[in-house]
Amino acid sequence: MSQKPNLTRNTIKLCIGIFCILPLLVSAANESKGTFSGAKPTQHPGWFKDSFLDFRNDIKTAARQGKRVLLYVYQDGCPYCNKFVDYNFAQKDILDKTRKHFDVVAVNLWGDLEVIDTQGTVTTEKEFTKSIGVKYTPTLVFFDEQGGVALRINGYYPPYNFRIALDYVAAKKEKTQSFRDYYTARTPTPSKGKLNKEDFFLPPPYNLADTAKRPLAVFFEQRQCDNCDLLHKETLNYPGTRDLIAKVDNIQLDMWDDKTEIITPDNKKTTPRKWAKMLNIAFAPSIVFFDMNGKEVARTDAFLKGFHTQTLYDYVINRGYESQPEFQRYLQRRSEALQAKGINVDIWD
């Protein structure tokens, strides 16, 4: 005959105590994890093209209607994509111009739908976006009638800047003029105001070909620039960003300055204006990052806020580009790592 276990009052109290403590331990663990915020869902407008993602067919169909294809690469929860769709297209002139001249085809950065690219290669959305080196969302690729790229925008352009891009491609100006020259003609060189100064900017002379012990970040800016003002007022003051900035050599150049002499990382004597043109810099502010060998490894040439700019610095400092060429994956993993340490992450801050 088996004996029943002898549960003493102390044993019962111990068991009860364990079951009482477990929820507290789980709760504490959950509380120690940082929060994630800033993601914004976006509903794409019904007038976007319902495409089978055969780009050759899309381009031919658009051409027959006197239009061109605008490929819009997005990802779910992307606040910049939300800004592009919900804010830019809320401007009636932008909406009317886009619908008149373009068929907008949406491609998910992480999607698994089948894609046939302009060369006839069958692949998936995520493999296609990887093959064309998408680093930011939204990325906009404007195709011409032959499937060539008339213009590519890597990141979010506010309405004023985006209008210029639409006009450029709609008028087929790429056949006779670079986008940078067209953009410059539409945005006259500011004659007033001053650049925003920071104590971390190195002073001239700028001999950037010297053997560097640290990565280099070159800020191309201009006077009378709302986006530049926002960069210095908010973006660079995102918590923790200046600690990373301190690990990089930073210089600031007026992208229209044709007097200051600089020596580029590849040992060419030039001026900021000529160098900006050589690098195809149109958007202000743009930040171009070079490694310690003087090779460009990353850049921002569209609107970015605090967390993304900070992560870009981290990406360059830790040479993330060597192991993870897809910046969005690096961004995601860094976000998760920070949250695991109890740090709150807001990707729209």
Domains plus CATH for the chain?
55-186 (3.40.30.10), 206-346 (3.40.30.10)
Amino acid letter, residue 275: W
Q: Judge whether 125 and 107 are in contact, CB under 8 Å.
A: yes
Cα–Cα dist 340/322, whole Å: 24
CA distances from residue 13 to 5, 9, 26, 65, 67 in whole angstroms, order as listed: 16, 6, 20, 79, 77
Burial 207-227 (b: 16+ CB within 10 A, else e): ebeeebeebbbbbbbbbebeb
Rounded alpha-carbon distances, angstroms, from residue 123 to 111, 142, 188, 238: 11, 20, 43, 39
Distance CA 118, CA 120 (A): 5
Q: And the tokens for 171?
A: 């008028």
Angle at 81 between CA 245 and CA 111, to 5 degrees: 105
Find, among 262, 128, 270, the residue nearest to 204 by Cα.
262
Positions of the chain with pLDDT under 50: 1-29
- The residue to which tokens 């210095």 are assigned: 232
Beta-strand (E) ranges in the chain? 36-37, 68-74, 102-108, 114-116, 122-124, 139-143, 149-154, 206-207, 216-221, 249-254, 262-263, 269-270, 286-290, 296-300, 345-346
Query: Which position has the token pair 């990887």?
Result: 130
DSSP-assigned beta bridge partners for residue 37: 346
Beta partners for 152? 141
188 upstream amide cis, omega within 30 of 0: no
| Dist. CA 222–CA 191, nearest whole Å | 10
Q: What is the pLDDT of residue 30?
A: 53
Whether 105 and 72 have beta carbons less than 8 Å apart is answered as yes
Spatial distance between the Cα atoms of 317 and 80, rounded to a whole number of angstroms: 24
Q: Which pLDDT tens digit goes with each residue over 14-38?
A: 344 434 444 444 444 456 899 999 9
Residue with tokens 């009378």: 224
150: helix, coil or strand?
A: strand
Q: DSSP for 216-253?
A: EEEEEE-SS-HHHHHHHHTGGGSTTHHHHHTTSEEEEE
DSSP 203: P
